[in-house]
Chains A and B, each alone.
Chain A
């Protein structure tokens, strides 16, 4: 095109009040993956509480009015909704780019045709749980799941619909990781290595005491620290005590609407007091008033104030209000297993000696400066 057109690909224009929005179309899934935090059965009665297509369209329109360019449709399995195509079409007609998160089992030839004709403008993201029926079906706990997943992939490939694949790494499928990586490298759009998800949330809400107890017992498992140049660079750039502010992240900048119309500050944060009912109130109000007010909150838990607020490892640590709420029911209680993992990591990086604690280190700047020589 001639000089009148400034940019023609992956436009990054001025930032609007709401650049992107996540919408969970359902919490139901036809897989029953052992690790998943959001997979109600396909026919769960929760279906009656889910937003209607009309409600979702209203939210999409409000998002566009706020300058939103991108919507992520996720779940559960978003393709389980019988009105998915209607919602997808509407989003695209509004001029939204759509990022679809799916297990691909419901990608039929006709749906793949739709994606080829009306492209989402962003690659579809497909989670992969195994490279053979035996493994995949065992993780998904559904017989025949792998065959459907594979058909979905074939349908996309045949129509040249862009997608990327992400591996969910579990003890029961790890022996197939290399096969997955080799296969992923052969996909037409594989310009970088596929994502590998090792940090799994085991629950989304604190609404099942049995599950809470089980998770608590699993939390003693040690994770292997990662030491490489990327992590060292990260430490050089981002470590330091966070202070008393509760949200040190982009809380509310990439909000997520749950399947029932409640707007959360992000995908992971489901504390009811931090969500905003879009069935009765507006997205604009949430963005202009509700979330900014949350961001100004400070921590009050004495343990948090003594430890996390003063801990120079905070950016290495997955402790955040969402994790804290999901593990303990409060927004600012230090999460012990995350604390242990972070300290292991810091020791492996040479930032801490065996008996030291992140919140007691005064010369942390020197330690970060010397991270190579330590």
Chain B
């Protein structure tokens, strides 16, 4: 392909009418604190698994709300608990991770 000095990216528009939020809905029941996340990113900054797979709890929660795939990120979480310790909203992210691992299909 000719080099035009710029490239075209795929559209990242989300059609919220068509997103599959089933997992998120289940989690709102099993781990209601998921709804208090303010996307501050403290969890991502402290994550042990981040260097290996770009793990970030903030992104995982966003992706679940948007019905996107979270498998690759969760696949390297070590359950070390640092994200829970730093979360300013006191979200039990470890329990959340285990719930996602359980209910994701």
Physical interaction between A and B: no
